[in-house]
Amino acid sequence: MTVLARPGPPAHRLRTASRRYVSVLATTALLALMYGIGAANYDAFGYPQVAVNLFIDNAFLLVVAVGMTFVLLTGGIDLSVGAMLALSTMLSAWLVTEYGWPPVLVIPLVLAVGALAGAGMGAIIHHFEIQPFIVTLAGMFLARGLCYMISVDSISIDDPLFTELAQQRIWLGEDLFVSVSMLIALAVVAIAFVVLHYTRFGRSVYALGGSEQSALMMGLPVARTKVAVYAVSGLCSALGGVLFTFYMLSGYGQHAIGMELDAIAAVVIGGTLLTGGSGFVLGTVLGVLVLGMIQTIINFQGTLSSWWTKIVIGVLLLAFILLQRLIGSRRA
């Protein structure tokens, strides 16, 4: 009696699976290279606190980028995140400073406003079949306008709780500490990882990005998923605004101008396809760290203009888009 061996997975499936990780591996290699260059050229660069500061200084961007990851995985885009972050800082500063509201009420209210605004944009995108670019662009202008309706000037925050949270250091050793904002950002990353990879909603997000028509034919809740991802993005933008308030202790309508582009760049450099359907939230973390590493190296150098950060990010973004295009053409 002849026993037939069970065939393994087709070779093309293995190649497809491996190509999903090419961008993430490239980002990891780039981050390691940049860290090695920094450590080789600057004595203090190798201190553990320098690496931890990448998370501390970019905690708000990391949270915003996590929300953007959900949107890009569905093949959409959200240009309102920077303006929503600024609106969150303005609402927080206005209610706490001008009206004396306690932060324990202000912060949940700000988060609810962000989530509802994102859900509203998602509903318009789906039910009226309008391009996400147009809807979220309108949301960006609306949020910025509301900031200036509150005040055209910066509003400082001197509330004891906000100040304590902003200045709180959690020591892990004699020379190493983390911040509250960093811990919140890492918690958001952990929750997003579980949601995307271990829940039905996460599988629907990936399926929607792969093909909306196929997702409909499979009976997946396309409308609910599309609205939910923009609600997640709005919620993350508002939470990023709260963390930015801890960072700046002020609200201002011109906070975070261009942050939507930084968030998109971080997500794409982290390996998420602009066309949707493929990407990892941990890759987004690497993308944010790459952006932070660029700024850190420029700061250590001391002789370069801060505008070099934008130049290097632009070159890297173009390189990773070309890499994605190359991977996609070979996959086809």
**Is residue 248 assigned to a domain?**
yes
Residue 46 DSSP one-character state: G
Vertex 302, ends 318 and 248: CA angle to 5°? 80
**Is residue 153 assigned to a domain?**
yes
Q: According to the model, what pLDDT value does residue 115 have? A: 98
Which of 307, 310, 308, 286 has its CA nearest to residue 54? 286
Whole-prediction pTM: 0.92
**Is residue 13 assigned to a domain?**
no
Domain count, the chain: 1
First to last CA, the chain: 41
Inter-CA distances, 319 with 71, 258, 289, Å? 22, 20, 17
**Backbone φ and ψ of 170, nearest 5°:** -105, 110
Supply the range of the domain harboring residue 222. 24-34+45-327
Q: According to the model, what pLDDT value does residue 174 have? A: 82
**Is residue 97 assigned to a domain?**
yes
Residue 242 DSSP one-character state: H
Alpha carbon of residue 122 to chain centroid: 18
Q: According to the model, what pLDDT value does residue 321 have? A: 86
User: Count of residues for the chain?
Assistant: 332
- Rounded CA gap, 190 and 185, in Å? 9
Q: According to the model, what pLDDT value does residue 23 have? A: 83
Q: According to the model, what pLDDT value does residue 14 have? A: 47
**Is residue 155 assigned to a domain?**
yes
**Is residue 5 assigned to a domain?**
no
Q: pLDDT truncated to tens, each residue of the chain (332 aa)?
A: 444 444 455 555 545 555 678 889 999 999 999 999 999 999 889 899 999 999 999 999 999 999 999 999 999 999 999 999 999 999 999 999 999 999 999 999 999 999 999 999 999 999 999 999 999 999 999 999 999 999 999 999 999 999 999 999 999 988 899 999 999 999 999 999 999 999 999 999 999 998 999 999 999 999 999 999 999 999 999 999 999 999 999 999 999 999 999 999 999 999 999 889 989 999 999 999 999 999 999 988 877 777 788 888 899 888 888 887 777 665 55
CATH of the domain at 88: 1.10.3470
Cβ of 196: how many Cβ atoms within 10 Å? 21
Which of 69, 2, 39, 75 has its CA nearest to residue 288? 69
Vertex 71, ends 65 and 77: CA angle to 5°? 90
**Is residue 8 assigned to a domain?**
no
Q: According to the model, what pLDDT value does residue 20 have? A: 73
**Is residue 11 assigned to a domain?**
no
